[in-house]
A and B are shown apart, each in its own frame.
Chain A
Amino acid sequence: MKHIDEYRDGALARSLAAAIAREATSGRHYQFMEFCGGHTHAISRYGIEDLLPPNVQMVHGPGCPVCVLPIGRIDDAIRLAMRPQVTLCTYADLMRVPASGGHNLLRAKAAGADIRMVYSTLDAIRIAATELDREVVFFAVGFETTTPPTALAIRLARRKQLSNFSVICNHVLTPPAMRAMLGEPGGAHVRVDGFVGPAHVSTIIGTQPYAQFATEFTKPVVVAGFEPLDVVQAILMLVRQINEGRHEVENQYIRAVTADGNLIAQREIAEIFELRPSFEWRGLGELPMSALRLRDAYADLDAERRFEVATVAAADNPACECGDILRGLKKPADCKLFGTLCSPETPMGSCMVSAEGACAAHWTYGRFRDRARVAVTVTVADKAFA
């Protein structure tokens, strides 16, 4: 398939892997964080760990929108959806995210709440335009990537004078979360030698916002696409920066990302949204200036104001390690619940829900690595390096 196969080429992967193995100096440990869930998924889906030498390790970051959404916000969604006049529209990922008291949106739907899974914000607009007697609320989640489509829906609702449409905004920002990964002085944080920087997010915000990590924290950042070759090439670029003592923002994803990003999208976002002073992230806690809300000019389209949503903070299951996993401090298999009480069928924590979550990716693609390697597994690895 054109524009796909060339980014998944096994022969090219082997030559890049050989370059990494050659250049990753023995006796030195390289620990890189892929910020995005999309990268986590690609690493697991294509078995990229098998292509890396033992001294090059990847740490999964918090860039999974579903995973970082705190329980209280899911509770809000369920409470809203249970109102008889409300139709809640959401991306399907959110349906199984555990809320307080063992609830989730899927169960609320079964109990009679009108919850519709949509592929696009435009589907939600369509529902609002055709079902005028329903209060259609779009539950907006995601990083900078999914913010422009929400902005577009708000614009359309305004233009079409859809008084029955509103948005509950949970959009969050990438750079504050990356800062949180590097930690406040003295706080517990994982060692990160460099970042595989966001792919789709960077198409919107560009590469400039990462300059602070290169200058202030002296960490190299390589913005990379979500295809497996993108990831492997980015890792090689990071190894080279470290070896050469550089800490720069480099762009591996030149086919989609520019330094300035998508200015039209940025303008739309700035026009409709403003920064929240603070927002709670699952696993990372309250992060200042890390999330968006609707500006006063769009208050009529803000479901939080229309329905007077007052988020009640709710605690995670105490045995769930999602918090430490999201901060890269623990691996999925370190959690006592992993694969016992917590699996994609019965997720206890959010990292097990989304396909981009570190736990779900490890469970779905990589958990065979947790056992003592049997002869079979070694054969696979041999083949990979043949």
Chain B
Amino acid sequence: MKRKILTCMLTAALAASALLAGCGGQDGGDASDPEQGGNVSDGGEEEEITLKLFHNWTMDTDVAYFEEAAKAFHDTHPNVTIEIANIGDPDYSSKLKVMLGSDEAPDMFFTLSGEYLYKFQRAGSVLDLTKYYENDSEWNDSFIASAKVPFETGGGIYGVPFRIITKQMVYNKDLFEQQNVEVPTTWEEFMEVCETFKNAGILPQAFGDLEAWAACHFMTTFNALCVPDEVRKADCDYTTCEFTDPGYVQALYMLKDMQDKGYFTPNTNAIDFDVAREEFLIGNAAMAYLENIEYIDVENAGINAGIFSIPAPEGAAGNDKLVTGSPDGFAISSSCKHPELAVEFLKLLTSKEWQEKALNMSCTSSIKGTHNSENSNELMLKDVEICENATGFANWMDADIHSDIADVYLPGMQEIIAGTVTPEELMEKVQAAAAEVRASAAEQ
């Protein structure tokens, strides 16, 4: 009998190791972070303060940028040390959530805008920065007008925009000239351009969707073009989401059409986005839907490129004055003991001097007047022009809608591309998921 009990216990132990793989409880974070705060008050001397910054840049030059900024801040605030920790995507989000729930919460951390940030606000993990903006009107006015909007929720502003990531259709000017086609101004013209390239044996668009976020970026644009603004906003709100507008189906058909007509890299679902992108960078594809942080790769590849915004289909009910993408930046955690110093540091990062230095990281600045012909290439300047003329942003759909809805919507796009699900069927699933989210919000 004892032997049996021992066997059972050993078996349980063996099987229980499965649990260690995933759910590590609340203290699952990296223990390497030094201790919190470090407020040592020593008689009459100034208090030694440590502020922790957590970000997701991993390139050597980018990491150095933040280290230099921390050093510059220390030079002007000798009693303040900024401790930096970083980890790349996609692990960043997981680790951030673990840290925010533990005693190791960073004082300042990188965040996307939209729902990604709003859920931290609902959990009370982030600080409202409204009063800091109000107390410094010069700083407040230095941002590009629309950049702060996606950080606003629940009547407060919960982040500082650091850069703006946008998505535009990048085209190969040489191939356009060779095929004698113009930059399209309507959806119908856009389809004709794609058809011309296809008939000429040139890949119209380099695009791979092995990872579901890739098609999601197209859908962010198409939904903005096809669904009225106020409806889309209501659907992004987890208390009012419905997704019943016919524009959503129309938008999915736009994606499906391009796939069915063969305008994307063949075997789209089996190709990594980055691998597909190479076709454009070696000059084999006429267009690629790219983020502005990828313009540097286009430039380095020596492609003579231009950008345009995907035009709306005739009669579409959405807004074609929105830029696909969003600003991202930094939030201050509600447990931060010295928020005024954290804000000071973020002011340094968003000063014109440090924004110009950040241009090496190939991003569009959130601060007005940072870009000029000396520090930015033609693509970037055009992108800034589009941003400044935009009425707002169509935020990345996967960051903007409730995660339970994204959980159905994103893999569904792969099924649309595979042709195993119709747009109507997918939207029915999305609506069902939205109904559950709404019901659960009503219970709370």
| Pair from one complex | no
Residues of A within 8 A of B (CB): none
